[in-house]
């Protein structure tokens, strides 16, 4: 549904291919307790990128597995550092609250354990989501920086993971607070940030490449119309 200078983008993935990258690979990651998540991310990024076309020219990207494990390590470090800090603050708050409580010692300890368990469970879910955003930003940088459009252009992405997390998290808060009335605004905000951090480096004159693609598409349309027995008058 997207075009640039009258040349359309296209995507040629298949239902089975999408099933593998969005269901089979993530399931493998879960069964291996996260050890295969970088492999799953690499498979997903490669499949999506290598099935895009601009006109008749296909995008391509090949990346080693190492950077994905590095990205996974950074996202895990983010999760642990925030979790430890939050758990420490939660424990201090519980102790301070209990010090002013009239409960006996046993009740105080039970209250701390129960309250901390519930809050840590909620916090863990939120942190997993935020860590996933860190991983998403880093792997996006990896795949886009390896992306090629035939011999016509290369690309570079420099998303800042923490900034990306903040935008996504604040978008969620704003959307929920407005009963999702501002969800379109939040989506545009997120896409704008991603677009602003992608650099395109043409390897040939842009006008020459676009003209060639336009001519190839027009020639294909004429041949197809003749095959169908249609009269092309334009």
Domain boundaries, the chain: 3-203
Please tell me the distance from the alpha carbon of residue 59 to that of residue 43, in angstroms, as a whole number: 15
Handedness of CA 125, 126, 129, 130 (dihedral sign): negative
pTM across the whole model: 0.82
pLDDT at 224: 43
| Exposure letters 11-21 (e unless 16+ CB within 10 A, then b) | eeeeeeeeebb
What is the mean pLDDT for each group of 10 consecutive residues in the chain (234 residues)?
87 94 92 92 96 94 96 94 78 63 54 62 84 96 96 95 95 94 96 95 89 73 48 44
**CA distances (Å), origin 86, targets 90, 122, 127:** 6, 12, 10
Question: What residues contact residue 168 under an 8 Å CB cut-off, 6+ apart?
Answer: 133, 190
Tokens 């792997």 locate to 139
pLDDT at 233: 44
Q: At 9, which helix (H) or strand (E)? A: strand 7-11
pLDDT at 216: 77
Please tell me the distance from the alpha carbon of residue 117 to that of residue 35, in angstroms, as a whole number: 26
Polymer length in residues for the chain: 234
Phi and psi of 58, rounded to 5°? -90, 140
């Amino acid at each position: 549904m997207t075009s640039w200078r009258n040349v359309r983008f296209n995507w040629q993935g298949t239902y089975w291919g999408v099933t593998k990258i969005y269901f089979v690979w993530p399931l493998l990651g879960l069964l291996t307790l996260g050890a295969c998540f970088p492999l799953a991310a690499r498979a997903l990024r490669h499949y999506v990128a290598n099935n895009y076309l601009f006109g008749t020219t296909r995008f391509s990207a090949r990346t080693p597995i190492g950077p994905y494990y590095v990205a996974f390590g950074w996202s895990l470090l983010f999760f642990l550092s925030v979790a430890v800090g939050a758990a420490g603050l939660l424990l201090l708050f519980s102790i301070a609250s209990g010090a002013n409580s009239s409960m006996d010692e046993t009740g105080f300890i039970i209250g701390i354990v129960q309250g901390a368990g519930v809050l840590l469970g909620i916090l863990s879910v939120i942190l997993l989501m935020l860590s996933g955003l860190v991983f998403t930003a880093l792997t996006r940088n990896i795949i886009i920086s390896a992306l090629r459009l035939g011999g016509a252009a290369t690309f570079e992405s420099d998303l800042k993971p923490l900034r990306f997390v903040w935008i996504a998290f604040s978008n969620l808060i704003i959307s929920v607070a407005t009963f999702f009335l501002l969800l379109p605004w939040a989506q545009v905000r997120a896409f704008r940030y991603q677009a602003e951090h992608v650099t395109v480096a043409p390897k040939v004159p842009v006008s020459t490449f676009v003209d060639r693609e336009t001519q190839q598409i027009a020639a294909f349309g004429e041949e197809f119309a003749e095959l169908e027995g249609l009269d092309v008058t334009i």
